[in-house]
Amino acid sequence: MKNFSSLKILSLTVGILTVALCSADAASSPFTHSPPSYLIQINGHVYKERNAHIRRPPASLTKIMTALIVMESCNLDEVVVVSRGAAGETGSRIGLRKGEKLTVRDLLAATLMASANDACRALADHACGNQRNFVLKMNARARALQLRDTRFTNACGHDNAGLYTTAHDLALLTEKAMQKPLFAQLVARKDMRIRTLNSKRSYHIRNKNRLIGRYPGAIGVKTGTTPNAGQCLVAMAEREERKVLLVIMHARNRWWVAPAMLDAAFAAESATIDENPDNTHESNSRRLYEALPEGTLVPD
């Protein structure tokens, strides 16, 4: 009887320990409480993904497309005159004044590093005369890149019912943008100073991507935050012969989950397509999140 009781207690203890160990492993996994949508690529191959084809608002990740089009359409040394619309932009901005003159190159730095809506709008107005024509060009470029679940309604990323993309499409767009030397250079910088050409004013801009200079191997790319989009991030890091691209959408704490997810990708034995149960879709029909009125923004 005593032996039976001892075996029963031993079995129960082993069971408790097993559950505890499993729970600890689950809690330590960066994918246990992963963002609603994410995609991780290793050297161009999908490592893990979740709801990567679900349409969601991208916030200032929109500026990746804006920067790409400007680089394809304008000379980097062209002079931009800040428009009234650009100077009046809301949300994240550096404080440009109507009539100030800056180069395309410097406004791209403010757009990509500081996520400045005033700089971004100034570039859109300069490239196509107004934002409406620029948005037409954005959507045409999206079609050309076969971004089938992407649609733009403004150049900066303001919440709007018609603005959406996916983690999958953002990965494709980022890979294309990173082929531009200036784009890759700017998103990897911690800070810089830009100057106006017709006054003594200058602006010190800092990269809002907290991984730059802090996470080993980080080389970009872009942050984005609005009430509807939540915390978004496209991050890229390189170590030795491995390049990891991470896209996060609608996260609660991107600066906690992003390093852990990147670590997991660098620690992975191989870059194989993820076929685990976590790679799920919310529904067969891609749904678009209900949007807030255009112009509603919080800082990136």
Taking only the tens place, the pLDDT of each residue in 52-94 is 999 999 999 999 999 999 999 999 999 999 999 999 999 999 9
From the candidates 60, 92, 137, 243, give the one annotated as an active-site residue. 60
CA-CA distance, 252 to 267, in Å (whole number)? 24
Q: At the top level of CATH, which class does the domain 37-267 belong to?
A: alpha beta
pLDDT at 271: 58
List beta partners, residue 192: 205
Residue with tokens 């991050």: 235
Domain boundaries, the chain: 37-267
Judge whether residue 272 has pLDDT over 90: no
**In whole angstroms, what is the distance from residue 229 CA to residue 201 CA?**
33
User: Active site includes 60?
Assistant: yes
- H-helix or E-strand containing 223? strand 218-226
Across 12-28, b (16+ Cβ under 10 Å) vs e yields eeeeeeeeeeeeeeeee
- Predicted confidence band at 34 (pLDDT cuts at 50, 70, 90)? confident
**Short-list 176, 188, 125, 196, CA closest to 154:** 125
Strands 230-239 and 191-195: unpaired
pTM: 0.84
- Residue 48's alpha-carbon distances to 8, 30, 178, 248, 273, in angstroms, are 41, 11, 21, 12, 7
CA atoms of 297 and 157, how far apart (whole Å): 9
Q: Which of 175, 146, 167, 172 is nearest to 51 (CA)?
A: 167
Q: Which of 34, 83, 92, 115 is catalytic?
A: 115
Q: Is 190 annotated as a binding residue?
A: no
Catalytic residue from among 63, 137, 208, 243: 63
pLDDT band at residue 283 under the 50/70/90 scheme = very low
Reply yes or no on whether the pLDDT at 242 is more than 90: yes
- For residue 1 the two structure tokens come to 């009887």
